Structure 1
Amino acid sequence: MPPLDLTASSIDLTRAICDIESVSDREGPLADLIEEAARAVPHLTVSRHGDTIVARTTLGREQRVVIAGHIDTVPLNNNLPTRFETIDGVDYLWGRGTVDMKAGVAVQLKLAAELAEPVADITWIWYDHEEVSEAKNGLNRLSQSNPELLAADFAILGEPTRSEIEGGCNGNLRAEIRTRGLRAHSARAWVGDNAIHKAAPILDILAAYEPRNVEVDGLVYREGLNAVGITGGIAGNIIPDECMVHINYRFAPSRSAEEAVAHIHELFSGFEVEIVDLAAGARPGLDAPIAQHFVAAVGGTPMPKYGWTDVARFSRLGVPAVNYGPGDPIKAHADDERVPLAQITDCERGLRAWLTGSAS
């Protein structure tokens, strides 16, 4: 593959890296090209950690910012190579990764190469395995092996936000709620105890639940508690002895992970509850002066991030963090994934204005 041209426009660079397939577990070739391109930039000090590339400026600035983006995508579905298309007068780049989140990565790569004298020292991170398990996540691994590389006064994650600022993120919990019964032949159901029937109160609790809207540092986060799966039954002529309702709880960052677990146990008191996944949220991170300068440079009104993102990793380290990148999150992972070209250039403009101190 030809080397990445970091002098190209951010739109052309987006297309170039999107056309390099990098589904999770296959990020190596793209990571190689990013490492090669970054090492050719004189003002960057580059290190590689698996398929995660870290490039840092060392200008002795008073503050340091981490700007990060993941280079992997979800699997393809006949949506590469990329193409340009116009829909209702809006110009798009169509294809896997254009939204989640190679447009953001392209903007970061271009600015990393061009900005030799930013107003703050910058740690640029392009990491692997965001779309899969926690254990494989490049940022997670880096936080364990080289936590000093994540140290900063502020962090920006290039997740798709329509090139608007989305502060923090909701927490995420998944739980399995089980009922137990007694197997019996369905022709003699009175001998058994139907576990699926006993799950009805669980569904009643979920149907009656009123999720909160919670204001956290000026942003209103919408919570949600939903059944996302239900399993039970052995055969068509057997009374089932077990039923499991799989629930997903999205909770505002004002609530800790431990408090979220306690809330689920309280709601489903008397039932067998097993927590199978848990990730704390992140507060907006907009109260720090450096974050306020960023908001002023980018413009617009910050919004909350309803889904969970890696900003939570920075929050755990005491680093305020926001999401900011091109693309509508509704199109992330979609078969017709596509990013408006104007959002790519808007994101580049906002980051450039802030990092050079040129915002009006």
Structure 2
Amino acid sequence: MPGLDLTADAVLLTQAICDVESVSGNEGPLADLIEAAIRAVPHLTVRRYGDTIVARTELGRPIRVAIAGHIDTVPLNDNLPTWFEEVDGERRLYGRGTTDMKAGTAVQLKLAAELAEPLPDVTWIWYDHEEVGEDLNGLNRLLQEHPEELQADFAILGEPSIAGIEGGCNGNLRAEIRTSGRRAHSARGWIGVNAIHLAAPILDRLAAYEPRSVEVDGLVYREGLNAVTIHGGVAGNVIPDECVVQVNHRFAPSRSPEEAVRHIEEVFAGFDVRIVDIAAGARPGLDVPIAKAFVEAVGAEPRPKYGWTDVARFAGLRIPAVNYGPGDPLKAHTDDEYVPVDQIHAVEAGLRAWLTGA
């Protein structure tokens, strides 16, 4: 497999790393290429933890910035190798990972190699297993086992943000709302208690629920509460004795996980509520001087991040963090996933301007 050319145009570098299939669990080959390429850069100190690579400048600057991107993707669907198309005058690179988030990763690799003396010290992080469970996430593993690698005054995650700045992120909660009945033969349904029928009030409460829009540090976050799965029944002739409605709650970063849990328990009072997954959100953190300088250098009006991203891990360390990367998050994971070429160049220019003061 040919090595990565970190002197190449960021678009061609994006294409090169996208064409190395790295569905979660198979990041090894791409991690090998990244490690080999970045170890050849003399101004970086490089360490590898599993399939996560950390590269640091050690210039003694008073400010350190962490810039991170994940190298894994969701499964393919006949969308590799990548290809170029021009649509309505916009040149696009299509293929799995182009938006989520190898275009951002490619920009970071190129700048890490080229910028020997950035204004702040920089910790560059390329990590594995972002698209799967919390227990496998490479950034979370780094946080648990080598937290010193994440220490910084400000952090940027290269998640797709249409080449704009998306501050912080919503929190994310999943809960199971259960009803219990009594099994019986469906020919004599009056003997049993139908758990699926008992779930109707759960759906009524969800349908009537009015989500909030919450301003946090100048950005307005939209919340949501939705049923995402429903399970019940064991056979076509049996009255079901259990029904489980799984709900997903996206909550503003001003609300703590504990407050989010209490809210769900209030909404579904009287039902068996079980929290199965929860992650805190992240405040925008745009009021600190280094973040203000970043916004000014990029020249973009910050927006809120509605989805959950790994900026929350930095926020948990009290490190302000933003999302800044090429690509539209609405195209992430789609079969026609693509990134506009102009956005790759725009993010490269924005990061370069901020890191060098040019």
* TM-score, scaled relative to structure 2: 0.99
Quick check: 1:235 aligned with 2:240? no
Question: 2:94: which partner in 1?
Answer: 94
Quick check: 1:323 aligned with 2:332? no
Quick check: 1:244 aligned with 2:269? no
1:1-360, aligned counterparts within 5 Å? 1-358=1-358
**TM-fit CA distance, 1:73:** 0.6
Tell me the SS of whatever aligns to 1:196: helix
Q: Which amino acid aligns with 2:176?
A: E
Structure 2 Cα separation of the partners of residues 239 and 17 of structure 1 = 53
**TM-fit CA distance, 1:231:** 1.0
Structure 1 Cα separation of the partners of residues 21 and 275 of structure 2 = 35
| 4+ residue runs over 6 A deviation | none
Structure 2 Cα separation of the partners of residues 86 and 350 of structure 1 = 24
Q: Which amino acid aligns with 1:118?
A: P
Q: Which amino acid aligns with 1:162?
A: I
Structure 2 Cα separation of the partners of residues 106 and 184 of structure 1 = 59
Structure 1 Cα separation of the partners of residues 209 and 146 of structure 2 = 42
Structure 2 Cα separation of the partners of residues 277 and 89 of structure 1 = 43
**TM-fit CA distance, 1:234:** 1.9
Structure 2 Cα separation of the partners of residues 122 and 340 of structure 1 = 27
Identity %: 76
Structure 2 Cα separation of the partners of residues 100 and 238 of structure 1 = 44
Structure 1 Cα separation of the partners of residues 78 and 239 of structure 2 = 44
**TM-fit CA distance, 1:187:** 2.0
Structure 2 Cα separation of the partners of residues 15 and 312 of structure 1 = 29
Structure 1 Cα separation of the partners of residues 7 and 168 of structure 2 = 32
Structure 2 Cα separation of the partners of residues 297 and 156 of structure 1 = 14
Structure 1 Cα separation of the partners of residues 18 and 127 of structure 2 = 15
Q: What stretches of structure 1 of length at least 5 have no aligned partner?
A: none
**TM-fit CA distance, 1:286:** 0.6
Structure 2 Cα separation of the partners of residues 105 and 127 of structure 1 = 10
Tell me the SS of whatever aligns to 1:96: coil
Structure 1 Cα separation of the partners of residues 37 and 183 of structure 2 = 63
**TM-fit CA distance, 1:241:** 1.1
Structure 1 Cα separation of the partners of residues 235 and 83 of structure 2 = 49
* TM-score, scaled relative to structure 1: 0.99
Structure 1 Cα separation of the partners of residues 176 and 275 of structure 2 = 6
Question: Aligned Cα RMSD in Å?
Answer: 0.7
Structure 2 Cα separation of the partners of residues 95 and 230 of structure 1 = 32
Q: Which amino acid aligns with 1:346?
A: A
Structure 2 Cα separation of the partners of residues 97 and 278 of structure 1 = 26
**TM-fit CA distance, 1:88:** 1.1
Structure 1 Cα separation of the partners of residues 234 and 125 of structure 2 = 49
Q: Which amino acid aligns with 1:44?
A: L
Structure 2 Cα separation of the partners of residues 24 and 148 of structure 1 = 25
**TM-fit CA distance, 1:350:** 0.2
Structure 2 Cα separation of the partners of residues 73 and 299 of structure 1 = 29
**TM-fit CA distance, 1:135:** 0.9
Q: Which amino acid aligns with 1:19?
A: D
Structure 2 Cα separation of the partners of residues 219 and 200 of structure 1 = 36
Q: Deviations over 1:115-149 (max 9, x none)?
A: 01101000000000001111111100101111001
